[in-house]
Structure 1
Amino acid sequence: MYAHVLVAIDLEDEAGSAVVMGRAAALSQEAGARLTLVHVRPDLPVSYARALPETWDLQQQQAAERELEGLAAAAGCGERVAGVFAPAGSVAREVGALARRLGVDAILVGAHRMDLGRMVLGTQTGAIVRDAPCDVVVVRAEPPRG
């Protein structure tokens, strides 16, 4: 179905990251899809950026990329990862631009920050869905069983 999937991860949302990576791993194993992982870091105001060491942004990017690689390894799909990216900027804009640049077949994204207990379509997810150049698969947390 999908040969190459861009997996959008919010590293600030541990619960959501685990759910999205679990679904990405299953999709990769079942369909043989290659995965590319992305976490979009927030832009810092220029006044803050001036006060930080020159290498701070690069260090933050590299740390996020290592964390993405660790998530993939923990989910058992590290060998299926074609790349990891951690740009800074607008989530929807960066995810859409990367999807276009890589020519992915689909974007996998969480419905909302799952650690907040909200299961509605979040603002960032809605923007990704609206502007995506390909299919978007919106992952929701598993409903509680009981």
Structure 2
Amino acid sequence: MFKSILVPIDLTNTDLAKPAVATAVLLSQTSNGTIRLLNVLHMTPVMLTEYVPADFDMLQRQSSQEALAIVAREVGIEPSRISSVVRQGNSVYHEILEESQAVDADLIVMASHRPAMKTYFLGSNAGYVVRYASCSVLVVRH
């Protein structure tokens, strides 16, 4: 049913992402689909650049790529059916939507916290993705 599944992962809270990854694996197995793991790094604010090493962004990206590779290995599906990418931007939901179009995803599976009062006023990344994605979105609650 789903040939290309995008799974955004917050590497600062991998426990929250585990149910979403497991769900994506299950859905991909029914149709022999592929999974694309995504981590979005925030841009380093200009006012902080003088306080961090010159190669900070590169080291942060490398660390994220290594962590995603570990997640991909632990998933338990063939390596040819899973890939990962690290994107960097100011808006997490924008990068998720861009990546979904880049890989022609037909499903985005993402984890989300239970709504809090602040998300009702400010919104959440999952909320934005649900509203603006051009493909189906499955939000998995922890």
TM-score bucket of the superposed structures, by smaller chain: 0.7 to 0.9
Give RMSD over aligned pairs.
1.9
> Which consecutive segments of 4 or more residues in structure 1 shift more than 4 A?
none
1:40 & 1:28 partners in 2: Cα distance? 22
What's the CA shift string for 1:42-88, capped at 9, x where partnerless?
A: 22210112332222101111211111121121121361213322423
Structure 2 counterpart of 1:101: 102
What displacement does 1:27 show?
A: 1.9
For the 8 Å contact 1:21–1:71, the answer to whether it is kept is no
TM-score (norm. length: structure 1): 0.82
1:39 is paired with a residue whose SS is strand
CA-CA distance at 1:108 after TM superposition: 0.9
Structure 2 spans left out of the alignment, 5+ residues: none
Cα shift at 1:110: 0.7
Q: How does 1:1-146 map to 2 (within 5 A)?
A: 1-77=1-77, 79=79, 80-112=81-113, 119-120=114-115, 123-141=124-142
CA contact (8 A) 1:64 1:86 kept: no
Q: C-alpha offsets along residues 21-46 of structure 1, whole Å, 9 cap, x if unaligned?
A: 21122222232111111111222210
**Is residue 65–residue 86 contact of structure 1 (8 Å, CA) maintained in 2?**
no
Q: Which runs of 5+ in 1 are unaligned?
A: 113-118, 142-146
What count of residue pairs does the alignment treat as equivalent? Answer: 135
What percent identity do the matched residue pairs reach? 28
Instruction: Give the TM-score normalised by the residue count of structure 2.
Output: 0.84
